[in-house]
Amino acid sequence: MADDDERAAKAARAKAMLKKRQQKKTGTSGVTSPISPPPSRAFTPAPAEPVDEEKRDLGDVFNVSKDEPDWLTGLARAPSPPPPAAPVPAKSPPPPAATSPQNALPRRTSLTSPPQAGKEVVLQKQLSALQAENEALAGDLARLKPLEARMCFLCVF
């Protein structure tokens, strides 16, 4: 019951404060009637210019006449995107030296596979990422091992 009284008192204070603020805004004092919201517009404003009721046959709208210019020809042409660049042919390997028997064998190069140095870099990055992941998992395992022992202990009892 005391909560209801407190709520009612709080609501009354809030109403009184709101009324005072509204009175300060309007510049009047004393008891005034509650401020009503401004009336909503009952009518829409009249158009600035009277609308000409031009009666046209809809068939005329879609018919192309000879005396009207084609509207497409009057438009500026948009620039087209440049054509895609032609693929650069792969450089052929240097001609083998005739003096060396090892270089006499033809070398195979594939356009899809990167050079050996590039493969090594990629493999090294993958190895580093896997090592970092392995270290993180080892840390998680070390942290969780004691919890596993406690859980097994609780399961026994």
pLDDT digits (tens, 9 = 90+) for 80-130: 777 777 666 555 555 555 555 555 555 555 555 556 778 888 999 999 999
Per-residue pLDDT of 41-58, as tens digits, reads 666 666 666 666 666 666
pLDDT at 135 over 80: yes
Tally the domains of the chain.
Answer: 1
Q: Are 32 and 23 in contact (CB under 8 A)?
A: yes
Q: How far is CA 17 from CA 6, 10, 14, 20, 43, in A?
A: 16, 11, 5, 5, 36
Range of the domain at 135: 116-157
| Residue 99 belongs to a domain | no
Mean pLDDT of the chain: 73
Model's pTM, two decimal places?
0.25
Q: Which DSSP helix (H) or strand (E) runs through 6?
A: helix 2-26
| Residue 60 belongs to a domain | no
pLDDT at 142 over 80: yes
pLDDT at 3 over 70: yes
The pLDDT of residue 33 is 55
Percent of the chain predicted with pLDDT > 90:
22
| Residue 12 belongs to a domain | no
| Residue 76 belongs to a domain | no
| Residue 65 belongs to a domain | no
| Residue 142 belongs to a domain | yes
The tokens of 148 are what?
Answer: 């596993």
